[in-house]
Chains A and B, each alone.
Chain A
């Protein structure tokens, strides 16, 4: 069974530029999550989708971050404009009815 796919694995941009990350969850998983993991910290939930609807985006900085999950499958997380403090690993995870989260390898963002 294929795992959660994320791309790109690494991205370096300058502040005020934009960036987008893509995630393809495990086939059949209805729930998809984006987490932000800053160096030295644990992952923090940014947004949770159930199929193509948003369940929780209370910790998403909506002035600069946006996410969508068209057709209830893959998802895109966008940051525009990026700030230095957005440097982090962005983890995508998915889960089925069992609730167990399966994580992708992450996309590491460096903002200069």
Chain B
């Protein structure tokens, strides 16, 4: 069955520290991969996506993610976290760009 696992429910980092959010997926083929961010009371906003090609993708707000086929992973990274990055982050996979399967999310807390 297709699934997405985000092992970390809650992560706390200090402002300026680096960040890595983990995402593992189970899928029959190489899926389309996405990271979304959700601020409190807001809808989801697309950070970045991977369809094919270069396995390191750049997104908005200074985020990047790396697709590793051998590990079935698509981890999200940011070299220096800002207080405004505090939010919930969702990894998602799909056969196309729609009908996405979302992970359970990772809540990021940023301390000054």
Report A's interface with B, CB cutoff 8 A.
3-4, 31, 33, 40-45, 48, 56, 91, 93, 95, 98-101, 103-106
Contact = CB atoms under 8 A, between A and B. Distances in A.
B33 to A, nearest CB: 13
B21 to A, nearest CB: 13
A24 B92 CA distance: 24
Given A42-B92, A106-B43, A101 B103 contact: no
Which of under 10, 10 to 19, 20 to 34, or 35 or more describes the interface residues of B? 10 to 19
B41 interface: yes
B4 interface: yes
B90 interface: yes
Contacts, number: 51
A105 B43 contact: yes
Interface of B: 4, 41-46, 49, 90, 92, 96-100, 102-105
A95 B100 contact: no
Given A42-B90, A43-B90, A100 B44 contact: no
Contacts of B44: 43, 91, 93, 101, 103
A95 B103 CA distance: 20
Contact of A95 (B4, B45, B98, B104): B98
16 contacts: A3-B43, A33-B98, A42-B4, A42-B90, A42-B103, A43-B102, A45-B100, A56-B99, A91-B43, A93-B43, A93-B44, A98-B97, A99-B97, A100-B97, A104-B43, A105-B43
